[in-house]
Amino acid sequence: MSLRIVCALLGAAAVASLAPPAVAADRLSARFGVAAFGAVDPLRDVKTVAGCGYDYIEPALSKAVALSPEALAAARQDVRSSGIRMETMNWFLPGGDIKLTGPSVDRKQVRAYLEKSLALAESFGAKVIVFGSPGARTVPDGFPPEKAWRQLVDFLRLAGQVVKTRGYGMVIGIEALRKPETNIVNSVAEALRLARDVNDPRVRLSVDFYHMAFENEDPDVVLQAGPLIAHVQISDPAQRRFPKDDTGEPRYRRFFDNLRKVGYRGRISLEAESKDLAGDGGPALQFLKRMAAPPRD
So what's the pLDDT on residue 50?
98
Q: Is the pLDDT of residue 137 over 50?
A: yes
pLDDT, one tens digit per residue, over 45-95 is 999 999 999 999 999 999 999 999 999 999 999 999 999 999 999 999 998
Q: Is the pLDDT of residue 281 over 80?
A: yes
**What separation in angstroms does the CA of 215 have from each of 16, 135, 242, 262?**
29, 19, 19, 22
The beta strand positions in the chain, using DSSP E, are 29-35, 56-58, 85-86, 88-89, 128-131, 171-175, 203-208, 229-234, 265-270
Question: How far, in Å, CA of 171 to CA of 200, rounded?
Answer: 10
So what's the pLDDT on residue 11?
42
Q: Is the pLDDT of residue 290 over 90?
A: yes
Give the residue from 30, 201, 53, 43 showing the smallest Cα distance to 124. 43
Question: How far, in Å, CA of 137 to CA of 45, rounded?
Answer: 29
Q: Is the pLDDT of residue 163 over 50?
A: yes
More confident residue, 117 or 296: 117
The listed CATH number (3.30.465.10, 3.40.50.300, 3.50.50.60, 3.20.20.150) that belongs to domain 3-292:
3.20.20.150
pLDDT, one tens digit per residue, over 102-121 is 999 999 999 999 999 999 99
User: What does DSSP assign to residue 226?
Assistant: G
Question: How far, in Å, CA of 92 to CA of 51, rounded?
Answer: 26
Instruction: Tell me what the pLDDT averaged over the chain comes to.
Output: 91
So what's the pLDDT on residue 5?
43
pLDDT, one tens digit per residue, over 5-50 is 444 444 444 333 333 433 445 678 899 999 999 999 999 999 999 9
Using the Cα atoms of residue 80, residue 29, residue 258 and residue 239 in order, give the sign of their dihedral.
negative
The full set of domain ranges for the chain reads 3-292
What's the whole-model pTM score?
Answer: 0.91
